[in-house]
Amino acid sequence: MDRLLFGDNQFFGVNHMSEEKARAQSLRFRDIQAIYEVLDAAYEEGVKTFMCTTHDRVEEICDRVRMHPDKYPDYQFFPCMPYAHKYANAATEEGIIGAIRRFSPEEGFLSAAIRGGVSLASKDIDGIVRLLIDAEMKMFHNVKTPVIFLQNVVVDFVLGLGMTQTFKVFADHVRSRYNAEPGFITMNLPMLVPELLRLGIENPIVCSNINKIGFRMCGGFKAYEETLRDYKFRAIAMSVYASGSIPADEAIQWVCTQPNVESIVFGASSRTNIRSTKALVDKYWSEATAKNSNV
Amino acid sequence: MKVRVAVVGLGKMGLSHLSMVRVHPNVEIVAICDTSKILLSIMEKQTGIACYSDVHQMMKETKPDAVVIATPSRHHESLVRLALESNAHVFCEKPFSLNWAASNELASLAESKGLINQVGYHYRFVAAFREMKRLLDLGANGTVSHVLAEAYGPVVLRPKGKSWRTKKEEGGGCLYDYAAHPINLLSWFFGTPSAVSGTVMSTVFSDDTDDEVYGTMLFGKGPSAQISVNWSDESYRKMTVKITAWGTAGKLYADRQEFHAFLRNESPQIDGYTKGWNLRYTTDLTDPVWFYVRGEEYSAQLDYFIQCIVAGKRENVNSFASAAETDHVLALMIEDATQGRVTSGVPTAVPPVRKKSFFRG
């Protein structure tokens, strides 16, 4: 994995702090050309991995990369699925099963099961999970997707319900069908990591908020520190600036010294920001590496 | 102490509550209940939790200490009564019940039995609205004269969809689903309104239910309020509730993410607040939760419910009595919407009757 991954919240009107900022971003990136410009700037600055939701607009970005293989030889996507809003809205309209049915490519099978009132066998449930993954992955055909993530709202929902065999189904399918590493985004790192290991998912990639002030690090700062130190997994840090609460320099310096953190995912809307973030990461990560190798 | 909890109704809200409460350190889930056999078969296989399709049997066999009820609204009344009569503490999804007289009766029943009772008006657990409540109680913006209470979001965007949420008699519609939230916040801030008037409940896309709700409320000698709610507004990415309060000493505003205070006093005497604009982010004001699925407020309200049970705390920020008050206001608005208006003589526009055609069934 690259040290620095480019996130997509800024492109799709998501801002955890302010709806006004979200709206301004949404306006700025209304034209997909504006998104291309920022992605190109990131690529030129050496940030070549786009960690993105399976939002409809990402399909256009995939098309562009497919059409210009010479321009983006090293470009790779880390898809994060599903784009949860479409499921949530469908669930409000049609219930949970209705929502799954709407997005399931083999709608007929599930509809028949519901009409017949039959109970589903575990293998059927696993089959539905695989079909939903395949539906989300369609837009990424013929582009590189070395890591495929399950979004935090799904990961944490499934973790809370205790239906964690689903993680294993996801991991196995992503490995066998897409030759990719499974990734998990979570707001509950200390609870998730031991569970993934218990399920036999080895050295899993887990992305979560990791920041100096403990912002949205559920289970507590100390539990995060212990998890990072004591378990064998590959961490990706997000929200390293804690929605702008920590100065960039201080935030990156701290993250780079944390054990097990392999990458940082960040969002930016300008080349200047991308360049300065890249410079900070290069500086502090090499410092941290040098320090570790001296020990 | 572990509270033995059962969850009834496994729709979007029920599953969401189950996912948070199951991993709460003070909770043991003893049973779940729903009418969907296919869903129960999945849950039983994947979670190992005892599954029931008959709620009476569930109550009898598992005797839970507390019940979380998240069924379609029209079932709330009978299920809450059943749970209370079985001496279980109850967390019920909003709206509390579709019959406000019954809501009051259930509130009294819960109180008389000494049972913890809470309704899922989660905005009372959003830090920005809590901060607004705190400043209003401190009189930060003087005497409040007017309030604007709004909610917008993208729920019904086309004439289709069939679920209980699209059926008026089952508590569907924008009034119970969306408007209930800002109205509940108004009662929290200013008490029960003394009058409602000018209520408009109209359809944008739905056949049977309201998609928009507008109206006026008066709070005795307190402020007047305007309600503006529309769940057919795609310009919002998700549900957005906003409250603005104008007062003699300034203006307060809150939404899920931000709290703004414009204060006129030279020295407002409130920690960290100064004359002019003040801005606080929910992200800074929010306390951490033990488990996060979809927003701290959802976790926080369940934790509060469980902690009330553990500590035997009788006062609840979202008690049945407070939710019954909201049910009453909603009923008043429905009544007001059908009242005669002061008319000008110009014929009232009649909504066009949708004709059946080849293109629109």
Domain boundaries, chain A: 4-294
- CA distances to B158, B159, B164, B355 from B361, rounded to whole Å, are 14, 11, 21, 9
Task: Check CB contact under 8 Å for B288 and A153.
Answer: no
Paired residues of B7 in beta bridges: B32, B68
- pTM, to two decimals: 0.91
B280 contacts on A by Cβ (under 8 Å): none
Residue in chain B lying closest to A161 (CA) = B19
Residue B357 has pLDDT above 50, yes or no: no
Judgement on whether residues B110 and B213 belong to the same structural domain of the protein: no
**Minimal Cα–Cα distance from B288 to chain A, Å?**
7
Structure confidence by residue, pLDDT tens digits, A119-146: 666 777 788 889 889 989 999 999 999 9
Minimal-distance CA residue of chain A relative to B167: A93
Neighbours of B267 (CB within 10 A): 9
Asked whether residue B192 is domain-assigned, the answer is: yes
Considering only CB atoms, which chain B residues are within 8 Å of A92?
12, 155, 163, 165
What is residue B353's predicted lDDT score, i.e. its pLDDT? Answer: 45
Q: Specify whether B195 is located in the same domain as B313.
A: no
Distance from CA of B343 to the nearest CA of A (A): 37
Q: Which of B12, B289, B292 lies at the smallest CB-CB distance from A96? A: B12
Long-range contacts of B334-343 (CB under 8 A, 24+ apart): B334/B175, B334/B199, B334/B201, B336/B196, B336/B197, B336/B198, B336/B199, B336/B215, B337/B199, B337/B200, B337/B201, B337/B215
CA–chain centroid gap for B305, Å, is 15
pLDDT band at B158 (very low <50, low <70, confident <90, very high): confident
Q: How far is the C-alpha of A19 from the C-alpha of A21, rounded, in Å?
A: 5
pLDDT of B360 over the 80 cut: no
Note whether B144 and B161 are same-domain residues. yes
Of the residues B295, B313, B334, which one is the last residue of a structural domain? Answer: B295
Q: What pLDDT is recorded for position A117?
A: 54
Whether B91 and B143 share a structural domain: no
Query: Does the residue B90 lie in any domain?
Result: yes
Q: Which domain holds residue B308?
A: 3-122+304-326
Q: What is the pLDDT of residue A43?
A: 96
B358 pLDDT exceeds 60?
no
Same domain, B278 and B309: no
Chain B CA closest to residue A165: B46
In the predicted model, what is the mean pLDDT of chain A? 89
Closest-CA residue in chain B for A208?
B292
In sequence order, the β-bridge partners of residue B64 are none
Per-residue tokens: A154: 């799904």
Specify whether B145 is located in the same domain as B210. Answer: yes
Size of interface A-B (CB pairs under 8 A): 131
Give the best residue of B41, B49, B178 to mutate against chain A (max A CB count within 10 A). Answer: B41
Verify that B272 and B130 share a domain, yes or no: yes
CATH superfamily membership of A4-294: NADP-dependent oxidoreductase domain (3.20.20.100)
| Residue of A161, A187, A220 lying closest to B292 (CB–CB) | A187
B244 and B230 in a common domain: yes
Model confidence pLDDT, tens digit, residues B3-14: 999 999 999 899
Same domain? B139 vs B283 = yes
The whole-number pLDDT of residue A109 equals 58
Do B68 and B154 lie in one domain? The reply is no
Question: How many percent of chain B have pLDDT more than 70?
Answer: 94
- Give residue A89's pLDDT: 66
Tokens of B243: 């409250």
Q: What are the chain B neighbours of A191 within 8 Å (beta carbons)? A: 23, 291
pLDDT at B61 over 50: yes
For chain B, the residue count is 361
Distance between A149 CA and the closest CA of chain B, angstroms: 17
Query: What ipTM describes this predicted complex?
Result: 0.88
Nearest Cα residue to B92 out of B115, B63, B126: B115
Mutate to test the interface with B, among A83, A96, A192, A239 (most CBs of B within 10 A): A96
| Residue B204 shares a structural domain with residue B226 | yes
DSSP alpha helix (H) spans, chain A? 19-28, 32-44, 58-67, 84-103, 107-116, 122-137, 152-161, 165-178, 189-198, 221-230, 248-256, 271-294
For residues B158 and A152, the model is more confident at A152
**How many C-beta atoms lie closer than 10 Å to residue B266's C-beta?**
8
- B253 and B313 belong to one structural domain: no
Q: Which one of A162, A166, A245 has the shortest CB-CB distance to B22?
A: A162
Torsion of CA A164, A167, A169, A173, to 10 degrees: 180
Paired tokens of A81: 């699925």
User: What is the pLDDT at residue B340?
Assistant: 76
Number of structural domains (chain B) is 2
What is the model's pLDDT at position B359? 46
Of B18, B46, B238, the CB nearest to A165: B46
Candidates B266, B297, B10, B292; CA nearest to B130 is: B297
Look at residues B333, B286, B22, B249 and name the one whose alpha carbon lies nearest to residue A159: B22
In a domain, B239, yes or no: yes
Going by pLDDT thresholds of 50, 70 and 90, the confidence category of residue B167 is confident
Instruction: Tell me: pLDDT of B117 over 80.
Output: yes
Q: How far, rounded to the nearest angstrom, does the alpha carbon of residue A25 sit from its chain's CA centroid?
A: 20
- For chain A of 295 residues, list the mean pLDDT of each consecutive stretch of 10: 93 75 85 95 96 92 94 95 76 69 62 58 80 91 96 96 95 96 98 98 96 93 96 97 89 95 95 96 88 65
Q: How far is B17 from chain A (nearest CA, A)?
A: 9
Supply the CATH number for residue B285's domain.
3.30.360.10
> Taking residues B259-275, what's their average pLDDT?
92
pLDDT at B361: 38
Determine which of B29, B35, B257 to mutate to test the interface with A (most A C-beta atoms within 10 Å). B257
Answer whether residue B361 is part of any domain.
no
pLDDT digits (tens, 9 = 90+) for B310-321: 999 988 999 999
Cβ-defined contact of A187 to B41 (cutoff 8 Å): no
Is there a contact between B165 and A215 if contact means CB atoms under 8 Å apart?
no
Instruction: Determine whether the interchain pair A159/B20 forms a contact, defined as Cβ–Cβ distance below 8 Å.
Output: no
pLDDT of residue B197: 95
